[in-house]
Amino acid sequence: MKPATLRFLSICALFVLLCLTVPAVARPVAVLRVAPGHIVTVRSARVRDYLSPDGKYVMRIFPQEGEGDDMVPSLTVLTRKAASRARHASDGWAAVANFAWLPGKPHTLVATLAGGGDYGGALMLWRGAGQTVTLLPGTDASDDDFSLERISADGRIITYKRYGDDAPAPADLKTAKPHTLTLPR
């Protein structure tokens, strides 16, 4: 074999070895854009970034330890510049079920958290600069879940479902009654 071919093969082998040893949670492949008002359901605890409509913030879904060995999807919001440097987020809302950037509000996010273990479900609102509002708290350490169903075109009214064994009217997601909530200005 020619020396150039051997050099090329050794570089490829080093690259593969490096890829196998670096943790997969280091950084997402791309920043995803989601239309304001589009509800995203979180199905896994893989690292994913979602850009705010105004491009100033990145909402990151990342894995975090839950009950036992389970990894739960968690959420944190970073400035776009900080997101490019952050290897992973260290804190955030645990057990995120779904979220949406609100229409007409360039950096406002609403998210639902699933209950269980040491935390209760909740309906949360995040406004730029780290302002967090608990719109509807679940009961502590309960099986009390929330799900976003619809968001009005102006982003002021959301429709959600509250369900689970400890919800006011126990039900599953399919049988739970939808409720509306007008968001604070």
DSSP H or E run through 14: helix 3-21
Q: What per-residue confidence (pLDDT) applies to 106?
A: 79
Beta-bridge partners for 96: 113
| Residue 48, φ and ψ in degrees, nearest 5 | -145, 145
**pLDDT tens track, the chain, 185 positions:** 677 776 666 665 555 544 444 334 445 556 788 888 898 888 777 788 888 888 888 888 877 776 655 667 777 787 777 766 665 444 567 778 889 999 988 788 899 887 765 566 888 888 876 678 888 887 655 677 888 999 999 999 999 988 876 666 666 777 788 899 998 77
Q: How far apart are CA 162 and CA 129, in angstroms?
A: 28
Q: Is the pTM of this model over 0.75?
A: no
Q: What per-residue confidence (pLDDT) applies to 54?
A: 85
Indicate the domain borders of the chain. 26-182
Q: What per-residue confidence (pLDDT) applies to 59?
A: 84
CATH assignment of 26-182, among 1.20.272, 2.30.29, 2.40.128, 1.20.1070: 2.40.128
Q: What per-residue confidence (pLDDT) applies to 97?
A: 84
DSSP H or E run through 84: helix 80-85
Q: What per-residue confidence (pLDDT) applies to 18?
A: 44
